């Protein structure tokens, strides 16, 4: 896990307080230029330093860079050293032991339960999930109506296969269970911490009181009725580049079943995609050609023996 000891600003170059790589208001990068093209370009993409053809001339890997982000191959897993939180269930918070808040240590070290926050799931050496990504993340707000019958995506990568700026990129997908307004169908913002006599959740462990106080503070309506809904939240995976020997192997993606790219649409992937009829006809042609060659060779052999006799 030894790296080059880069400071953050080595890549997140900053001009007049504008930090390169912010992904919510604007794309992380609008132009995929290199320092060779413009020595003032923000060094936020791999191409900024490594160019769009980072491998040796003639390498097949260079043919992937117009569709596949460098991180997709070079970050095969994340949380390789320390565990990362993969799920957080707020609905189980508030339990006490002997009338007091408590924590339970999980199998990987960090707590698997905390009275203040609920249940956690931690993991290590996690394979990312992959999405088309143009460098922008979109998200809902507490004003947007949700569908509580299914998992609510709180944010998601923006991108599509027809966009020349988009690449298939790796993400951590964090899941959770969070409070929502069952009448207004909106996500709720609780007031979490405050003095002992406040409406904060960590003061009285009263969800209704904390949700009423939180929504009042942000000036949004609350019906007084709440439940918990399953949620997801994506994090771009870009900071744990592995040594080149650990890069994703070709057959981890180019495989017909259970490959890393199984859910990626909009691109033909040899080894994963194909037309069964065409493949069958192709194999018939191959086997037919092979049979023809064998028959021809057998005929020549028989003919030669007859001449010798």
Interatomic CA distance for residues 72 and 50, integer angstroms: 15
Going by pLDDT thresholds of 50, 70 and 90, the confidence category of residue 198 is: very high
pLDDT over threshold 70, residue 65? yes
Classify residue 131: in a domain, yes or no. yes
Instruction: Retrieve residue 69's tokens.
Output: 């982000």
Radius of gyration from C-alpha coordinates of the chain: 28
pLDDT band of residue 13 (cuts 50, 70, 90) is confident
Domain membership flag for residue 88: yes
For the record, the structure tokens of 22 come out as: 């912010």
Cα 35 to Cα 20, 42, 72, 138, 233, distances in angstroms: 15, 9, 22, 29, 33
pLDDT tens per residue, range 89-107: 999 999 999 999 999 999 9
| Distances, alpha carbon 223 to alpha carbons 184, 185, 193, 211, in Å | 7, 10, 22, 10
Region label for 159, one of left (φ > 0), alpha (ψ between -120 and 50) or beta (otherwise): left
Strands 18-19 and 129-133: unpaired
Asked if residues 211 and 222 have their Cβ atoms less than 8 Å apart, the reply is yes
Give pLDDT tens digits for 128-173. 999 999 888 999 999 999 999 999 999 999 999 999 989 999 999 9
The answer to whether residue 62 is domain-embedded is no
- The mean pLDDT value of the chain amounts to 89
Span 202-229, average pLDDT: 97
Q: In degrees rounded to 5, what are phi and psi of residue 272?
A: -100, -40
Mean pLDDT of 180-191: 98
Query: Could you tell me the pLDDT band of residue 37, with boundaries at 50, 70 and 90?
Result: low
CB atoms inside a 10 Å sphere around CB 64: 18
**Residue 300: DSSP 8-state:** H
* Within-domain flag for 3: no
Q: Which residue bears the tokens 């909106």?
A: 186
Does 37 fall in a domain?
A: no
CA–CA gap between residue 109 and residue 77 (Å, rounded): 19
- Predicted TM-score (pTM) of the model is 0.82
Return the pLDDT at 145: 98
- Residue 21 in this model has a pLDDT that exceeds 90: no
Span 197-213, average pLDDT = 96
The residue ranking higher by pLDDT, 155 or 35, is 155
Q: Report how far residue 202's alpha carbon sits from residue 207's, in angstroms, rounded to the nearest whole number.
A: 10
Which domain range does residue 208 map to? 68-252
The residue ranges of DSSP E strands in the chain, in sequence order, are: 14-15, 18-19, 84-89, 103-105, 111-114, 118-123, 129-133, 136-139, 152-153, 155-158, 167-181, 186-187, 226-236
Q: Which residue has the tokens 């290590």?
A: 124
Binned at pLDDT 50, 70 and 90, residue 239 comes out as confident
Residue with tokens 């001339």: 57
Asked whether residue 283 is domain-assigned, the answer is: no
Q: Is residue 25 a part of any domain in this protein? A: no
Total count of domains within the chain = 1
Asked if the structure places residue 282 within a domain, the reply is: no
C-beta of residue 170 within 8 angstroms of C-beta of residue 71: yes
């Amino acid at each position: 896990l030894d790296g080059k000891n880069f400071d953050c600003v080595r890549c997140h170059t900053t001009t007049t307080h504008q930090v390169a790589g912010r992904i919510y208001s604007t794309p992380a990068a609008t132009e995929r230029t290199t320092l060779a093209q413009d020595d003032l370009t923000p060094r936020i993409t791999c191409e900024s330093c490594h160019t769009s053809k980072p491998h040796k001339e003639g390498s097949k890997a260079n043919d992937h860079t117009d569709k596949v982000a460098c991180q997709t191959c070079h970050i095969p897993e994340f949380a390789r050293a320390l565990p990362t939180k993969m799920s957080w269930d707020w609905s189980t918070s508030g339990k006490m032991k002997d009338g007091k808040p408590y924590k339970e240590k999980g199998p990987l070290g960090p707590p698997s339960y905390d009275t203040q926050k609920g249940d956690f799931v931690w993991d290590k050496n996690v394979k990312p999930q992959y999405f088309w990504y143009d460098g922008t993340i979109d998200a809902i707000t507490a004003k947007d109506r949700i569908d509580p019958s299914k998992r609510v995506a709180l944010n998601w990568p923006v991108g599509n296969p027809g966009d020349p700026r988009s690449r298939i990129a790796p993400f951590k997908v964090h899941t959770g269970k969070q409070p929502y307004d069952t009448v207004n169908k909106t996500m709720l913002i609780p007031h979490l911490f405050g003095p002992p006599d406040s409406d904060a959740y960590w003061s009285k462990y009263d969800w209704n009181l904390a949700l009423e106080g939180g929504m009042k503070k942000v000036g949004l309506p609350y019906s007084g009725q709440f439940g918990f809904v399953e949620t997801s939240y994506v994090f771009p995976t870009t900071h744990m580049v592995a040594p080149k020997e650990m890069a994703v192997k070709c057959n981890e993606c180019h495989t017909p079943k259970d490959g890393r790219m199984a859910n990626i649409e909009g691109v033909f992937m040899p080894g994963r995609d194909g037309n069964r009829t065409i493949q069958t006809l192709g194999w018939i042609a191959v086997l037919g050609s092979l049979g023809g060659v064998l028959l021809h060779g057998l005929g020549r052999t028989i003919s030669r023996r007859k001449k010798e006799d």
